[in-house]
Amino acid sequence: MQNRNTELIDAARKKFSRFRELSAEYGVEQAWEAMLKGFPELQKQRMGPLLAKPTLIEGFRQAIPYFNAMGMEMEAVDISNNGMDAALEIQKQCPYLEVCREYGFEAPCTVICEMDIEASRRAFPEMKGEILSRQALGSSVCIFKYERPLRKDQDSRTHADPETAEDSTSP
């Protein structure tokens, strides 16, 4: 677990360093766009198999061990409603808070989380993502909401919690 967290922090350091360099040379907006080049394609590779699951919550629950191994303590909650397949991704630990300050950033959100959300939006135009809560701004957790239209083959039974769902064959 420590090794994965170290890899995550090292990758973040490179990202913050590169963003700082590009911002100094071209300004924040152009730096952000430059950092996004190729990122939607990478998001498609990373998230595509998870988002191909019948529901978002199934994909997000499958990602929990990966995020937990990085020390982020992830939980996922199904919030599907009103024709939307939707999930909350809750991160109890932000590994980026300290490292972003090393590079002169007050919060990691723009360089890490907002960029992830934008790359996901570009990679999966049918899906909407937003950041609802940020530890960097004083919240107890980071919360990300993702939603997409319910697929035609989905219904309310698809979103039932497997631990509490009743057998659909009972009267």
pLDDT value, residue 104: 87
pLDDT value, residue 155: 60
Does residue 165 belong to any structural domain of this protein?
no
Residue 4 — pLDDT band, cuts 50, 70, 90? low
Determine contact, residues 137/50, Cβ cutoff 8 Å. Answer: no
Does residue 147 belong to any structural domain of this protein?
yes
Of 129, 139, 114, 119, give the one whose Cα is nearest residue 46. Answer: 119
Query: Is the confidence at residue 160, as pLDDT, over 90?
Result: no
Does residue 28 belong to any structural domain of this protein?
yes
Tell me the residue range of the domain where 134 lies.
Answer: 2-154
Cα–chain-centroid distance for residue 126?
A: 16
Residue 171 — pLDDT band, cuts 50, 70, 90? very low
The pTM (predicted TM-score) of the whole model is 0.84
**Tokens of residue 92, six digits:** 């109890």
Mean pLDDT of the chain: 88
Express each pLDDT in 53-106 by its tens digit.
999 999 999 999 998 888 889 999 999 999 999 999 999 999 899 889 888 888
Q: With b meaning 16 or more CB within 10 Å and e meaning fewer, what string describes 51-77?
A: beeebbbbbbbebeeebbebbbebbbe
Does residue 39 belong to any structural domain of this protein?
yes
Q: Rounded to whole angstroms, how far apart are CA atoms 27 and 58?
A: 39
Number of domains observed in the structure of the chain: 1
Q: Would you call 166 exposed, middle or buried from its count of C-beta atoms within 10 A (0-12, 13-18, 19+)?
A: exposed
pLDDT value, residue 20: 95
Query: Is the confidence at residue 168, as pLDDT, over 50?
Result: no
pLDDT value, residue 61: 97
Give the CATH number, domain containing residue 115.
Answer: 3.30.1380.20
Q: Look up residue 148 and give its amino acid.
A: R
Does residue 130 belong to any structural domain of this protein?
yes
